[in-house]
A and B are shown apart, each in its own frame.
Chain A
Amino acid sequence: MLIPVFFVYSLYLLFRGHDRPGGGFIGALVISIGLIFHMIAFGVYETQRIYRIDTTKLTSIGLLVGFVGATLAWFVGRDFFVALWSSITIPGIGTLSSVMLFDVGVYLTVIGAILKIAFTIFKE
Chain B
Amino acid sequence: MAIVLLLTLLLSFFTLFFYRFHPKAVGLFSAFGTLAIFLFLTAYIGDVSAGQYLVQEIRWVTELNINLRFYLDGLSLFFALLITFFGSLILFYSTTYMQGKKQANRFFFYLILFMASMLGVVLADNIFLLYIFWELTSISSYLLISFDHEKKNARYAGMQALLVTNLGGLALFGGLLLIGHAANSYNLSTIIQFDHSSLGTYSNAILFLMLLGCFTKSAQFPFHFWLPNAMAAPTPVSAFLHSATMVKAGIFLIMRFNPLMEGMEGWSISLLIVGGATMIIGAVKSLMEDDLKKILAYITISTLGLLVATVGAGSELAIEGAVLYLLVHALYKGALFLLVGNIDKKMKTRNISELSGLFSSMPFTGTATILACFAMAGLPPFLGFIAKEKLYEALLNHGSIGYVLLLFVFISSAVYFMLAVRLSFGVFFGKQPSIKNTGDVPFLMWVPPILLTLLGLFFGIGGIYISPLLTQVYASMVQKPIVNGLDLSLWHGLNKAFFLGVLTWFVGFVFYRNAAKLADGLKMGAHFLPSVEHMYTSLLRKIDAWSRLVTLFFQNGFLTRYLKVIFVVLIGLLAWVYIEGDLFKTAIRFGESTASTEIYEWVPLLLILTGCAVVLKSSSRLRMLVSLSLVGYGIAFFYAIFSAPDVSMTQFLVETITLVIFTMILHRMPKNVTFPLERRTFLIATISCLFGIIMTLVLIAVQSYDLDPTLKNFYLENSAPSAHGENVVNVMLVDFRAFDTFGEIVVLCMTAIGVVALINLKPKNEKL
**Residues on A facing B (Cβ under 8 Å):** 17-26, 29-30, 32-33, 36-37, 40, 55, 59, 62-63, 66-67, 70, 74, 77-81, 83, 85, 95, 97, 99, 102-103, 105-106, 109-110, 112-114, 116-118, 120-122, 124
User: Known contacts being A18-B725, A18-B726, is A81 close to B755, with CB within 8 Å?
Assistant: no
CB distance from A25 to the nearest CB of B (A): 7
Residues of chain B lying within 8 A (CB to CB) of residue A62:
745
Establish whether residues B731 and A106, one from each chain, have CB atoms under 8 Å apart when the complex forms.
Answer: no
User: Known contacts being A81-B739, A117-B755, is A95 close to B760, with CB within 8 Å?
Assistant: no
Residue from A25, A80, A102 within 8 A of B61 (CB atoms): A80
Closest to B645 in A: A21
Size of interface on B: residues with Cβ below 8 Å to A? 43
A-B contact pairs, 22 of them (CB 8 A): A19-B727, A20-B726, A20-B727, A21-B646, A22-B730, A24-B734, A29-B654, A29-B657, A32-B657, A33-B653, A40-B664, A59-B752, A63-B746, A66-B745, A83-B735, A85-B724, A102-B738, A109-B748, A110-B745, A110-B748, A114-B657, A124-B759
Residues of chain B lying within 8 A (CB to CB) of residue A121:
661, 664-665, 755, 759
Establish whether residues B749 and A109, one from each chain, have CB atoms under 8 Å apart when the complex forms.
Answer: yes
CB distance from A39 to the nearest CB of B (A): 9
Alpha-carbon gap, A18 to B653, bound state (A): 19
B491 within 8 A of A: no
Residues of chain A lying within 8 A (CB to CB) of residue B760:
120
Residues of chain A lying within 8 A (CB to CB) of residue B742:
66-67, 70, 102
Closest to B726 in A: A19
Alpha-carbon gap, A83 to B722, bound state (A): 9
Residues of chain A lying within 8 A (CB to CB) of residue B62:
79
Main secondary structure, interface of B, reads: helix
CB distance from B661 to the nearest CB of A (A): 6
Establish whether residues A30 and B653, one from each chain, have CB atoms under 8 Å apart when the complex forms.
Answer: yes
Alpha-carbon gap, A51 to B731, bound state (A): 31
Known contacts A103-B734, A106-B734; 5 additional CB pairs below 8 A are: A22-B646, A23-B727, A26-B649, A26-B653, A33-B657
Alpha-carbon gap, A53 to B751, bound state (A): 19
User: Known contacts being A62-B745, A83-B735, is A95 close to B653, with CB within 8 Å?
Assistant: no
User: Known contacts being A18-B724, A99-B734, is A113 close to B751, with CB within 8 Å?
Assistant: yes
Residue from B653, B734, B768 within 8 A of A29 (CB atoms): B653
Establish whether residues A17 and B59, one from each chain, have CB atoms under 8 Å apart when the complex forms.
Answer: no
Closest to A83 in B: B735
CB distance from A4 to the nearest CB of B (A): 19
User: Known contacts being A29-B657, A117-B661, is A106 close to B726, with CB within 8 Å?
Assistant: no
Residues of chain B lying within 8 A (CB to CB) of residue A70:
738-739, 742
Residues of chain A lying within 8 A (CB to CB) of residue B768:
124
Establish whether residues A22 and B755, one from each chain, have CB atoms under 8 Å apart when the complex forms.
Answer: no
Closest to B754 in A: A117
Establish whether residues A79 and B59, one from each chain, have CB atoms under 8 Å apart when the complex forms.
Answer: yes
Alpha-carbon gap, A21 to B742, bound state (A): 20
Alpha-carbon gap, A43 to B417, bound state (A): 73
User: Known contacts being A26-B650, A121-B665, is A83 close to B723, with CB within 8 Å?
Assistant: yes
Establish whether residues A29 and B759, one from each chain, have CB atoms under 8 Å apart when the complex forms.
Answer: no
Kindly list the 4 A-B residue pairs having the minimum CB-CB distance in the complex, ordered from nearest: A29-B653, A21-B645, A18-B725, A113-B752
CB distance from A93 to the nearest CB of B (A): 14
CB distance from B325 to the nearest CB of A (A): 41
CB distance from A94 to the nearest CB of B (A): 9
Alpha-carbon gap, A83 to B561, bound state (A): 49
Establish whether residues A120 and B759, one from each chain, have CB atoms under 8 Å apart when the complex forms.
Answer: yes
Tell me which residues from 716 to 764 in chain B have a Cβ below 8 Å from any Cβ of chain A. Answer: 723-727, 730-731, 733-735, 738-739, 741-742, 745-746, 748-749, 751-753, 755-756, 759-760
CB 8 Å contact bits of B651-692 with A (1 = contact, 0 = none): 001101100110011000000000000000000000000000
Closest to B756 in A: A120
Alpha-carbon gap, A26 to B322, bound state (A): 61
Alpha-carbon gap, A24 to B650, bound state (A): 11
B499 within 8 A of A: no
User: Known contacts being A29-B650, A79-B59, is A106 close to B741, with CB within 8 Å?
Assistant: yes
Establish whether residues A79 and B745, one from each chain, have CB atoms under 8 Å apart when the complex forms.
Answer: no
Alpha-carbon gap, A21 to B730, bound state (A): 8
Alpha-carbon gap, A83 to B718, bound state (A): 14
Residue from B657, B724, B735, B751 within 8 A of A95 (CB atoms): B724
Residues of chain B lying within 8 A (CB to CB) of residue A55:
752
